[in-house]
Structure 1
Amino acid sequence: MGWIVLAVLVLLVMIVIGMYNSLVRLRAACDSAWADIDVQLKRRYDLIPNLVETVKAYAAHEKGALEAVINARAKAMSAQGPEAKGAAETQLTQSLKSLFALAEAYPQLRAVEAFNQLQGSLNQIEDAVQNARRYYNAVVRDYNAKTQEIPTNLIAGWFNFVGRQFFEVTDTVQREPPKVQF
């Protein structure tokens, strides 16, 4: 009888360890996915000053639009957490749309190869950011579901595994990356 009780206890401990480890793996995946978003956003932030300088050379009197991009970039870089990053990224995307709309008004700017290369790079980065966001949100979905499912929710509560926020853009109009058409 004693061996049966011991075997059941060992089995229960193994199950708890398995649930704990699955939560740890999902939490690590969330952290890794968030880091991927940060990498893509850093690439985007690094590209924007070059884009602004290129436009500035051709549209120097459009100072307001250029300053809006610079300010939005600074806010986005300093934002912390998915909710704040989402809001800051929304503002940055809007200011970039304004910058590209401004560029449409200057045919000589559209003919500059450097501008076209920067624009192409930004489009590639926007696609990478979108993919990183999708992956992050998928991992957060799995993690949050695991922390709420029975019996894993008991282990999550005991070891303080808390749900994560999705990386969302709150304004439906701004959910898409900037589209530039010349």
Structure 2
Amino acid sequence: MKRGLGAMIGVIVVLALIIIPLLSSYNGFIQAEENVEQKHSQIENQLQRRADLIPNLVNTVKGYAAHEEDVLGDIAEARSRLIGANSVQEQAEADDSLSNALSRLLVIAENYPELKADKQFTQLMDELAGTENRISVARMDYNEEVTNYNKRVRQFPSRIVASIFGFDTREYFQAQEGAEEAPNVDFEGTGD
């Protein structure tokens, strides 16, 4: 009887030694995954903030630069793509398109001194600049969290737990190829 009890206690101890680290690792993955989701939602919040600022900015510019419809149309299209993006990659691509279109808008604003002096335009540009900074910080925080998560998914022995429970690596928020270069703005044929 004592022998059976000792064997049963031994089995329980061995199972506990296996199950406790397994549960701990699983819970760590859940926490890491939630951290990644939280950081991604911060990017989405800031992208939405910027998307909400854009219509006011475009309407302000329209009054001064009515013949710059191409740029204003590009901004509207890029904004729509950003709002409809379903993946991190789609968001990054739409974000790059919107940033390029906004850069072209800023170059256009340089040609309209009255626009640059407009209080509403200046205020919107300040808000947009602040939002761009927040987006940059949110991307950096997200990518840092993805790095931590991906390391956990790929390192041994947590890799075993990741494969058992279906935890996969996550995508980084990356700019499109060539996004580091300033957009080419051609004003030939525009203006009065």
What TM-score do you get using the length of structure 2 for normalisation? 0.88
Matches within 5 A, 1:7-156: 7-156=13-162
Residue aligned with 1:125, SS: helix
Indicate how the Cα distance of structure 1 residues 150 and 175 shifts in structure 2: closer, same or farther if over 3 A, else same.
Answer: farther
- Structure 1: distance between partners of 2:101 and 2:41: 24
Structure 1: stretches of 5+ with no match in the other structure: 177-182
Which string of whole-angstrom CA distances, capped at 9 and with x for unpartnered residues, describes residues 120-175 of structure 1?
A: 00000001111111111111111111011111111110111111100100234448
Count residues in correspondence. 176
Aligned to 2:190: none
Which amino acid is the alignment partner of residue 13 of structure 1? I
- Aligned-residue RMSD, C-alpha: 1.4
Per-residue deviation, 1:42 = 0.5
Indicate conservation of the 8 Å contact 1:169/1:175, yes or no. no
Deviation, structure 1 residue 76: 1.3
| Runs of 4+ more than 6 Å apart | none
Larger radius of gyration: 2
- 5+ residue gaps, structure 2, are 1-5, 183-192
Q: Which amino acid aligns with 2:24?
A: G
Secondary structure at the counterpart of residue 12 of structure 1: helix
TM-score normalized by the length of structure 1 = 0.92
How far apart, CA to CA, are the structure 1 residues paired with 2:163 and 2:56? 48
Question: Residue 92 of structure 2 aligns to which amino acid in structure 1?
Answer: G
